[in-house]
Structure 1
Amino acid sequence: MTAPLDTPRIASSLQIKWATEEWEKSAAMALRRRVFCEEQQVFEQDDRDEIDVLAIPLVAVALVQDIADGVVGAVRIHEDEARDGTWWGSRLAVEKRYRRFGGVGVGAGLIRLAVSSAHALGCRRFLANVQSQNAPLFQRLHWRSLGEFECHGRLHHQMEADLRYYPPCETPTIGFFTRARGAA
């Protein structure tokens, strides 16, 4: 039996990759708006800023029967123009119904590709300003807190990835695929 058309499908697998298609980039921006403006109300209308001009967007694309069905996660990375070899990740957003995708963390996959692809581009230090409630996730993924501060009215940790746990990814436009536990 198939789900009614108005019932959203849950994918059986994901492709986590750099956003290379315009629809992926547009969908990533729409997801960020839903998460940071509507759900969290961190920003009023839009979360775009000057970093978006420099940043490389990454996406988690839901695959239904191995066909792209939409962007369910996004993050952006960029090199710090003032500090050679330092890269930043920011605006990590995951569609609510995919935050615990079949035992596989969509956010963790995006973080992995973000750091690994920057590492392949010469990153010697990878940083992120992470909302405090998400700091434990990053710590489990081999990040350390450099201190807590307030940003946009919320507590954040500036965090640094341990690059030893993130081997360089030479094919970020393809990225990697992951299946939900129990998926065929």
Structure 2
Amino acid sequence: MIELEQRLFNSPGYYIRAASKRFEAEGAAGLRHRVFVEEQGIFPTHDRDDIDLIATHLVALSTYAHEADQVVGTVRIHEEAPRLWWGSRLAVDSDFRAVGRLGAELIRLAVRTANARGCERFLAHVQMQNVTLFRRLRWRPLEEVTIHGTPHMKMEADLGHYPPCADPVTGWYHRPRTREPRT
């Protein structure tokens, strides 16, 4: 029993939800800067644009004693035209990419939120290294494009695979599967 308790204590969970607090919005902006400016060099100084003003920003929050601790993942969604939604700026902190499924959970919340808001088509420009992940999540490739000098695949979500999420601010709590220690 003690071994099980130790394993559960060592495997924190993550809140996957819409940003609703100032620290969440600031954490998402900071994470995007680290990933898209500092790490990948896609943007020279910042990645902010006019879409940020109209987008719904979603976050993955690490927890400490089941309380939100820090933003470790983010994505934004917006409605470009009636019933046409886009997801963009998916980022997971480099220290948390090995956690598993944080990016997938953010994608799930993005499409489910748009689906609840009347989405009939959900698109994203996906960096080429992430196409396999999106395909596993029931997205289909449409065409290769170059955005900000970086190759991307324009992809479309299979909306039937994503039931609506009417309350993205509540979102859900994600606990990654624990791996048994090697002996």
TM-score normalised to structure 1 length: 0.89
Alpha-carbon RMSD across the aligned residues, in angstroms, is 1.3
**Structure 2 residue 150 is matched with structure 1 residue 123:** no
Comparing both structures, which one devotes a greater share of its residues to helix? 2
SS at match of 1:58: strand
Written as runs of structure 1 = structure 2, the 5 A alignment for 1:65-104 is 65-80=65-80, 83-101=81-99, 104=100
Once residues 52 and 43 of structure 1 are traced to their aligned partners in structure 2, the CA distance between those partners, rounded to angstroms, is: 15
**1:61/1:68 contact within 8 Å kept:** yes
Partner amino acid, structure 2, of 1:34:
R
Shift of residue 11, structure 1, vs aligned partner: 6.4
Distance 2:148 2:87 in 1: 17
- Provide, for residues 22-72 of structure 1, a one-character-per-residue CA deviation record: whole Å limited to 9, x for no partner: 110000000000000000000011000011111010000101220111000
Q: Residue 118 of structure 2: SS of its match in structure 1?
A: coil
Q: Is the 8 A contact 1:119 1:166 kept in 2?
A: yes
Structure-to-structure mapping, 1:1-184, within 5 angstroms: 12-80=12-80, 83-101=81-99, 104-182=100-178
Give the conservation status (yes or no) of the 8 Å contact 1:11–1:62.
no
Distance 1:89 1:111 in 2: 8
> What amino acid does structure 1 have at the position aligned with 2:104?
A
Structure 1 distance, partners of 2:98, 2:107, is 15
Query: How many correspondences in the alignment?
Result: 170
Please list the CA deviations of residues 99-145 of structure 1 after superposition, one character each: whole Å capped at 9, or x if unmatched. Answer: 121xx310000000000011000001000011111111100100001
Preserved contact between residue 11 and residue 64 of structure 1 (Cα < 8 Å)? no
SS in 1 for 2:31: helix
Alpha-carbon separation, structure 2, partners of 1:129 and 1:180:
27
Residue 146 of structure 1 aligns to a residue in which SS? Answer: strand
- Structure 1: state its 5+ residue gaps: 1-9
Identity of aligned residues (%): 50
8 Å contact kept, 2:11–2:178: no
Partner of 2:7: none
C-alpha offsets along residues 151-176 of structure 1, whole Å, 9 cap, x if unaligned?
Answer: 11111011000001000001110101
